[in-house]
Amino acid sequence: MTFAPWPPIYRLPAPSGFLALEKILSGTNQSSNGLDGRRKKLKFRLWHRGLREMDLVLGGFADAELAGLNDNDLPEVEGWLDIPDQQMLAWVTGAETPPADVATPLFAKLKTFHLRDLKN
């Protein structure tokens, strides 16, 4: 018994309304050029959390703010990577109140950035 080969699969272009969405959901489109090695690594890790919602929240924050953060802020941002995605998402969205050691001015800046991003 012989089988006919499957027809080739062609990827059709998405309707124009989805192209913008695809670009938004695909991650950063900003270069890491000009960032030092620590910030480059941190930016990558913030864009690759695991939960897509957190990738967008933290990765977008990294694109906008990481280059301007001082070296004293970096350990705090690196500490965010140790917080489970669901817990971080609950704190960022305001569904739960973060503990005092997380509720810092930099975390407030992240929340403000997230809320500003939702309004646009």
Region of poorest pLDDT, from 22-26, 50-54, 84-88, 92-96: 22-26
What pLDDT, on the 0 to 100 scale, is given for residue 79?
A: 96
Task: Report the pLDDT averaged over residues 49-58.
Answer: 88
List b or e across 11-50, with b for residues whose CB sees 16 or more CB atoms inside 10 angstroms: eeeeeeeeeeeeeeeebbeeebeebeeebeebbebbbebe
pLDDT digits (tens, 9 = 90+) for 17-37: 443 444 444 455 565 566 788
pLDDT at 15 over 60: no
Sequence-distant (≥ 6) Cβ neighbours of residue 95 within 8 angstroms: 89
SS3 80: helix
User: Smallest Cα–Cα separation from 59: which of 70, 48, 69, 68?
Assistant: 48
Residue 96 carries which DSSP code? Answer: S
Contact (CB, 8 A) for 91 and 102: yes
pTM listed for this prediction: 0.69
Task: Report the pLDDT averaged over residues 38-66.
Answer: 89
Q: Which domains, and CATH codes, for the chain? A: 35-119 (1.10.150.250)
Contact (CB, 8 A) for 62 and 56: no
Amino acid at position 26, single letter: S
